Chain A
Amino acid sequence: NAGVTQTPKFQVLKTGQSMTLQCAQDMNHEYMSWYRQDPGMGLRLIHYSVGAGITDQGEVPNGYNVSRSTTEDFPLRLLSAAPSQTSVYFCASSYSGRETQYFGPGTRLLVL
């Protein structure tokens, strides 16, 4: 198993550009989530999904969209990037919301 994979590893965007951060898992996990990590802030939940076709907002959802068309994939979309979205983004998955989550390696995003 590859576990949780994320692409790209690094990305530089200009303000106003859009992009999609990819996340995939091959463990047949129902639950997937996106976090952002900022210095001194720990990890904050952006959006999560309890299964294909179902998504919900986390603590900091503004400026981000998600969809879950398959069990394996959970992309995170930035429609119009802002400098405040400069961060490290982590995707995580688990069998259910009550099981321990496994994290991907992260995507480092810089918005100029």
Chain B
Amino acid sequence: GQQLNQSPQSMFIQEGEDVSMNCTSSSIFNTWLWYKQDPGEGPVLLIALYKAGELTSNGRLTAQFGITRKDSFLNISASIPSDVGIYFCAGRRYGGSQGNLIFGKGTKLSVKP
């Protein structure tokens, strides 16, 4: 089935560092979403993007809808310990089944020992 390639799979952060992750698809999407999941919890929506080229911020988080409509990026500035968790991208294709979201496999953010 359709897959999103999300990278990196995991990364270690040190407090204060900036973090970047991205998702790419072979299909064109009309919506990109970024979620964060804490252990034992359901995913929580961070940012939603609806137009190619759109750049949206939510506090220290900034996400962009790629101009090609096949990718999206999430940046976290000045990371803090509570940023630890798993970040998922999700996309909705043009012409796809109504509401059918496709999820990436996640980027696991951990604190450097």
Give me the interface of A with B, judged by CB distance under 8 Å: 4, 31, 33, 35, 40-45, 48, 50, 56, 58-59, 90, 92, 94, 96-98, 100-106
Contacts and interface: CB of A to CB of B under 8 A. Distances in A.
B42 A42 contact: no
B100 A43 contact: no
Contact of B99 (A31, A59, A103, A104): A31
Given A96-B99, A98-B99, 4 more contacts: A45-B101, A96-B98, A97-B98, A100-B33
A45 B4 CA distance: 14
B106 interface: yes
Q: Which 6 A-B pairs have the closest CB atoms?
A: A97-B99, A103-B42, A97-B98, A42-B105, A43-B103, A42-B103
B92 to A, nearest CB: 8
Interface residues of chain B: helix, strand, loop or mixed (majority): loop
A44 B99 CA distance: 13
Q: How large is the interface on B (under 10, 10 to 19, 20 to 34, 35 or more residues)?
A: 20 to 34
B88 interface: yes
Describe A's contact surface by its main secondary structure.
strand
A42 B106 contact: yes
Contact of A103 (B4, B43, B106): B43
B100 A45 contact: yes
B16 to A, nearest CB: 29
Give the one of B42, B44, B103, B105 with max A CB within 10 A. Answer: B42
B104 A42 contact: yes
Nearest to A94: B99
Given A33-B99, A42-B104, A56-B97, A100 B42 contact: no
Contact of A43 (B1, B40, B43, B48): B43
A112 to B, nearest CB: 21
A33 B23 CA distance: 23
Contacts of A42: 4, 6, 88, 103-106
18 contacts: A35-B103, A40-B105, A42-B104, A42-B106, A43-B88, A45-B100, A50-B98, A50-B99, A58-B100, A92-B42, A94-B99, A98-B31, A98-B92, A98-B98, A100-B45, A101-B99, A105-B42, A106-B42
